[in-house]
Structure 1
Amino acid sequence: MFKLTTICASLALLATTVVAADDDISFSACGLIGAYYPPPHILKSSKTSSSINTKFTQVFDKLIQDGGSENYGNITANSTSFSVVIFSGAADLREDPTLFEYHYTSGMDYQEIGTNLTSSTAFPVGDLTMIFTVYTWLVKMGETWDTPITKFLPELKTLNSSSIASWDDITIGSLAGQVSGLARTCMLIRPPLLKSKFKLGLSKEPFLFRPDTTPIVSYTAYQLLAFAMEKRSRGQSFSDVLKQAVFDPLNMTSSGLLGDKSNNQSIFAIGGLNMSQTGEPGAISLVSSISDLTRAGHAMLDSTLLNKAVTRRWLHGAYATSNLRNGVGRPWEVYHSGSTAISPVLDALTKSGTIGQYASYFGLVPELEAGFAILAHDSTVADRKLDLNVYADIVSEALVYFVKAAAQETVVRYGGSYGAKDGNGVFGHFNITSNGYGLEVQELRDQNGIDLRSEYAKALDIKETDLDFRLYPTNVQDKTRHQFVAVYQDKSAPIDMGTPTCITWQEVGAVPGVAHRFWFELDESGGAARVLIDQGDVVLERSE
């Protein structure tokens, strides 16, 4: 199986830094996480969209032609079929959020089944099922992270569990967040195996850790969530619960569960899957397609089925792992991208899945309002061994275009020169730079000509030549104005024993008299017409 650390490793290319041999780490602006630029709005007719489609169609074409590349590695084009999609979460692209897609059917698969892959071709997606189990829980049951599972399944209390750990300690959040402490699986379920058998398995091997200790994957955890939803639905099957809560509202017509007769007939190369081991339906039994995953990903980013506040709380990491790059969410595999220890971090919320000779990968980058999905099949590989490294690396590189587009769009909408209300003279200039995100404030004076950069540097006890002064966007905005916050740093500040820290989040608005709120008032096109500093004490008009 491919490594999570390969994906999105290049998402922070805009914030380049240099690490010298003597650990003299050069300055890199320390932004507020998740607030580097406003998300880009990429239209299908835009230059960015055209560039992504042209370049990466060529990349995949050549990859197949050559059987791999020096940059990305080798693939087995004769046996591996795959589909790739990159999509937007923008509200006005709900009907068709796809920005790039690519489908390839291997000669071996085509000879076997006689049809080519399309966006609606159904694949078993394995562990991606967990995302939809948690998503369905949020839609149907709401946010109940701190509620014990025994409230929904009190019969768990009757199991002969160890006195060291209690079923009452396992919450919905710990089950969804992969920190339940439960074993990976108590036994494989083959419908219609009785739930009593599942309980028997739980009584024999329940806990590996106490709940909320350390992340470990547990298929059992998601099956318990599925059982709880079935029980709350008064006997509906988990398949029906998914269909009613998510699939039907999002028009996910290719999606269902392994074991559903209507789905099995449409699955790509289904003959290669051992149907006697479909696994816990709540964990690894989802069947879906590229088009359905795109609809679901857009809905998650755009809060189609959830309250926006619930979405913000869900699309985050919740727990750490033993690797600085990797975190865990509910049920996300979180990749913290950044080129060095002091590069800004951009999180990709991902989930990988394998089952039989199929592999899948799904990811969201909320700060970019973008996502991706990869589905693949290869009848020549061993069970759960299909590697998506090469395809994932290419997709991560494509997402860099979103970062660049966000930076350029920020300059167009908010950057440039600003002057006094009477139009006499330039009093402010904002731009992007190569050593950090956000808008650098390169010049700022009030209507009386007072140099505010100089005044703020004095108040902060920073030499003016060493002052890094940047504006970062917040999500406090409407159609007429957008709030940014100011972050000030001393570029000459020493690195503590070669280990840089980033504590600007503690300093916003900390020094009286130093501005930290910048309101950009927007015109009809969505671009800035003027900027108001703090409570409108300084008003600067944008120059033509």
Structure 2
Amino acid sequence: MRLITFILLPIYWASTAHAGLPGASYPSPRDISSSSSSVAAMWKNITDTLEQTLAGGGWDSISSYLLRNTTFSIGLFSLYDKNASSLQYHHISPSTINGTFGTTHIDSDTIYRVASVSKLITTYAGMVQLEDDEWNTPLTKIYPSLQDFIETTASDPDFVKNIQWDKVTVGDIAAHLGGIPRLGLPVASDIALLGTADPATLKIWGLPTPNITQFLEQYPCLESLQFGTDTVCGIQDYVQGIASNPPRYLPGNSPLYSDSGFFLLGGALSNLTGKSMDELYQDALFTPLGLKSTFSNPPTKPELLNRTVIASTLESDLINVPITTPSGGIYSTINDLATIGISILNSTLLPVDRTNRWLQPVSFTRDLHYALGRPWEIYRYVHPDTNVVTNIYTKLGDAGSYASLLALTPDFDFGFTILGASPLGVQTQAIQLIADQLTNTMIPSLMNQARREAFKNLAGTYTPKAKALNTSVTLTIPSSSKAPPGLVISKWVSNGTDVIDVLAKTLMHLVPHVPQLPANRNMVRIVPTIRDVTVSGQIAFQMETVTPVGPIVGNMFSEMYNVGSWVSTIDQLTYHDIPINEFVFSVDKTGNAFSLSLPAYEIELVRNK
């Protein structure tokens, strides 16, 4: 898989520090698809531009070439708006229309090979079937060849030369943290193989003549995986070849993309569950989610082949090497991938706590915009107007004629899929182009829609049922899209006391090194922290402040409290150990609030209509 890079705006701090609590700024938008939705309006702009680009206008001539020569499908989905899946776009390239095999009609049930999105599907199946502690199983407990290798080299451990297989866990390889090779066997570009056919190649590189017989004997699977013969390659045969490979990193040290890790992960999951991978996929995902168009074997039956995109040849596009399926051999549709995405956002198959832990980074890259999970490729989108960060959990794929992307934004309970294929090898660039445009337009529109719905569903004045009490809370949204997002507390009176005035002053004194600046009533706002709508019908909000400091350049430690609401303001003021700054809304099935509880004040306020 070639890593796809989203165009993201750089992080910077403006005259007001906006870095608040991690996570959502508003409850997730529920209207994605209607004519009044900001998201639907932006989607129409995108599809109109796609049409213009395909016609030779739009973005530019290169984009036009990439898109015209790629068959692709795009689909949106939302946890709360089931009609969001109707927002789709499909294009069929001339090569697909004129192809000998496969479909000549593209829709949401068209089958594509999903390439390395298979890694996510494999990990998801493992999450459903394994207990948490099983992810810590070392690979030597699963593969005898690896245990034998460790025992053979025990007298002279060389951590530069030999992989510490007894330290590499199932969880490590799911997160690309095994430090193991990308493929674990020589590919066609291996200089030893090239030099066998053309000795001049060896001379160019100044390399010695290889013992090609011994070299090939080390890899029992080489013929099957590299040369396309009919030799059956089992996972144990593959492990025998990779066992003596040198490490790229020490286990758990640094992420390094590894297809071989997912070859091994498939075998590990099969071993730990006692099921074949075909059975595991069916039992864990395909059957429970009703995935009728997702397959762990090539869709060769005529009725399936007739709706499959064949971009190159039948032999290459429907190649079936079972040990590679967990890494890149699954076939699916945008409809089924949307079902998978929604099930993750909804915790349909996993307990909520396990989903929450799964949707977290495990390691980081050198780029501040990117992190990695199991096997999430996490992109940190920075909103250009507020500097708020939205994490996008993705898995991208690129194999042969196919490219793919599944993306989730938990802050908005939203996602999208893109599947593409091209015989010209431009499918990844086309997917990349589309993903950039979707990200840079849809994410801001989701924030805008969430902001609009928060005003409709949550803003207003809340008062007690007992009219004699001089208590009320008035909430609104920021007047400008450039202001920090969240519900602004414009008025808060409790038993005749102006709480917000006291609170604004007090919060500034909770951080010792911050200058005692004049209190700013507009600093105080609340953001959602616990969304339990489906169970209790409640949404908990916590307060955070906007610190009016100057531009921040460097000084990471001294400025931490200024931009770190997670450490500086939340939960510091309590009454009977209950946070003063906790607000709990009771909402109906549409997300519309009818009351607001202030737990520390032991009072429930009713929203005034």
Pair in the same fold by TM > 0.5: yes
The structure 1 residue matched to 2:526, chosen from 459, 471, 482, is 471
Aligned to 1:167: 165
Aligned to 2:22: 33
> Residues of 2 paired with 1:522 and 1:78: CA distance?
47
Q: Out of 124-133 and 276-285, give the one that drifted further.
A: 276-285
Q: Could you tell me how far 1:542 is from its partner in structure 2? A: 2.6
> Residues of 1 paired with 2:473 and 2:428: CA distance?
57
Q: Which has the higher strand share?
A: 1
TM-score, length of structure 2 as denominator length: 0.78
> Residues of 2 paired with 1:195 and 1:147: CA distance?
18
Cα deviations across residues 271-300 of structure 1 (Å, max 9, x unaligned)?
446366857222111111111111111111
8 A Cα contact 1:357 1:386, kept in partner: no
Amino acid across the alignment from 2:52: K
Aligned to 2:77: 87
Gaps of 5+ in 1: 20-24
> Residues of 1 paired with 2:298 and 2:18: CA distance?
52
> Residues of 2 paired with 1:184 and 1:467: CA distance?
52
Aligned to 2:296: 257
Cα deviations across residues 201-247 of structure 1 (Å, max 9, x unaligned)?
2123152111111111111111111112223454x532332123212
Cα deviations across residues 308-335 of structure 1 (Å, max 9, x unaligned)?
2211111222211110000001001000
Q: Go from structure 1 to structure 2 and tell me whether the alpha carbon gap of 1:18 and 1:138 turns closer, same or farther (over 3 Å shift).
A: closer
Q: Could you tell me how far 1:395 is from its partner in structure 2? A: 1.9
Q: Which has the higher helix share?
A: 2
> Residues of 2 paired with 1:237 and 1:282: CA distance?
12
Q: What is the number of equivalent residue pairs in this alignment?
A: 527
Aligned to 2:251: 211
8 A Cα contact 2:70 2:430, kept in partner: no
> Residues of 2 paired with 1:291 and 1:523: CA distance?
29
The structure 2 residue matched to 1:509, chosen from 547, 554, 571, is 571
Amino acid across the alignment from 2:309: F
> Residues of 1 paired with 2:529 and 2:75: CA distance?
29
What pairs up with 1:379-458 in 2 under 5 angstroms?
A: 379-381=423-425, 386-396=429-439, 397-419=441-463, 421-422=466-467, 427-433=472-478, 434=481, 435-448=483-496, 450-458=497-505
Aligned to 2:594: 529
Aligned to 1:354: 398
Q: Could you tell me how far 1:336 is from its partner in structure 2? A: 0.9
Amino acid across the alignment from 2:571: G
8 A Cα contact 1:445 1:452, kept in partner: yes
> Residues of 1 paired with 2:384 and 2:590: CA distance?
37
Q: Could you tell me how far 1:504 is from its partner in structure 2? A: 0.9
Cα deviations across residues 33-89 of structure 1 (Å, max 9, x unaligned)?
113111111264462265355333323222212254159944434422111001112
Aligned to 2:539: 482
> Residues of 2 paired with 1:524 and 1:193: CA distance?
53
8 A Cα contact 2:43 2:442, kept in partner: no
8 A Cα contact 1:219 1:282, kept in partner: no
Q: Out of 35-44 and 307-316, give the one that drifted further.
A: 35-44
> Residues of 2 paired with 1:268 and 1:387: CA distance?
16
Give yes or no for the alignment of 1:329 onto 2:370: no
Aligned to 1:542: 607
Q: Go from structure 1 to structure 2 and tell me whether the alpha carbon gap of 1:288 and 1:497 turns closer, same or farther (over 3 Å shift).
A: closer
> Residues of 2 paired with 1:522 and 1:255: CA distance?
37
> Residues of 2 paired with 1:542 and 1:443: CA distance?
14
> Residues of 1 paired with 2:537 and 2:282: CA distance?
39
> Residues of 2 paired with 1:5 and 1:444: CA distance?
45
Q: Go from structure 1 to structure 2 and tell me whether the alpha carbon gap of 1:311 and 1:147 turns closer, same or farther (over 3 Å shift).
A: same
Q: Could you tell me how far 1:355 is from its partner in structure 2? A: 1.0
Q: Go from structure 1 to structure 2 and tell me whether the alpha carbon gap of 1:339 and 1:510 turns closer, same or farther (over 3 Å shift).
A: same
8 A Cα contact 1:423 1:541, kept in partner: no
Percent identity, aligned pairs only, is 24
> Residues of 1 paired with 2:431 and 2:32: CA distance?
28
Give yes or no for the alignment of 1:242 onto 2:315: no
Note the aligned Cα RMSD (angstroms).
3.2
Q: Could you tell me how far 1:466 is from its partner in structure 2? A: 7.0
Q: Out of 260-269 and 370-379, give the one that drifted further.
A: 260-269
Q: Out of 419-428 and 406-415, give the one that drifted further.
A: 419-428
Computing the radius of gyration from Cα coordinates, the structure with the larger value is 2
> Residues of 2 paired with 1:414 and 1:206: CA distance?
58
TM-score, length of structure 1 as denominator length: 0.87
> Residues of 1 paired with 2:240 and 2:305: CA distance?
29
